[in-house]
Amino acid sequence: MQQTVGRMTREAWIHAGIDALIEEGIASVKIQVMAKRLGVSRSSFYWFFADLQALHGELLEHWLTKNTSPIIERALRPAATVTKAVCHIFECWVDPALFDPRLDAAVRSWGQVEAVIRDVVDQADDQRVDAITRMFVRYSYPEEEAFIRARVLYFTQVGHFTLGIRDDLEMRLRLVRPYLLSFTGRLPADDEVEAFAAMMRRRQPPN
């Protein structure tokens, strides 16, 4: 249930914190900075949070829900082939509603300056890779091979986001088939590639 005091809400403070984290880093997630963004007095903050650490916890929880849960959910989805199963995971990389790469990069940068946050990031990476590993195992890959393929698939995409690689839509569409072959060792069916390409066009229209 949304907490409200006057015109201000707990969720507004959380979103102000997320915006500051993404745009300027954890050093800018300060009560005074966020209060200025929101156009309220800093005392409003304490109606909703005991201290700044409490807000930090909410930011991490938002990140885990936003960026980890969809990957795990899609890795668990039934699919007739492993290439179709990987397409389910690919949805996270092309649909901003499922995964926010700027938020992921911001939390990873936060982890570079705070060891406790780095531990949370490492745990989230382990959870994501484990879910993808279990996906490969369902399609009869040996355990160790499934683990390596999961790491290659996942960390390739993390690196893609971290480096800020900006392939246009048409290039990404051309690479769907070879990526699926590289990640799985199996050729995808034409209808799988076509269905995924159609989804990409719907959710990521060309600029």
Indicate the pLDDT class of residue 62, thresholds 50, 70 and 90: very high
Indicate the pLDDT class of residue 1, thresholds 50, 70 and 90: very low
Please report, for the domain that includes residue 30, its CATH number: 1.10.10.60
Give the helix/strand (H/E) hosting 5.
strand 4-5
Q: pLDDT value at position 166? A: 83
Per the structure, the complete domain to which residue 161 belongs is given by 56-203
pLDDT 10s digits, 11-30: 999 999 999 999 999 999 99
Candidates 73, 56, 65; CA nearest to 18 is 56
Domain co-membership, 67 together with 44: no
At position 46, the amino acid (one-letter code) is Y
Domain co-membership, 103 together with 199: yes
pLDDT 10s digits, 32-58: 999 998 999 889 899 999 999 999 999
Domain co-membership, 44 together with 89: no
Please report, for the domain that includes residue 113, its CATH number: 1.10.357
- Going by the DSSP 8-state scheme, the letter that residue 48 receives in this structure is T
Domain count, the chain: 2
Q: Beta-carbon neighbour count of residue 21 at 10 Å? A: 23
Instruction: Among 34, 49, 64, identify where a domain stops.
Output: 49
pLDDT (average), residues 57-73: 96
- Supply the DSSP string of 164-177, one letter for each residue: T----HHHHHHHHH
Indicate the pLDDT class of residue 7, thresholds 50, 70 and 90: low
Q: pLDDT value at position 190? A: 96
The answer on pLDDT for 176 being more than 70 is yes
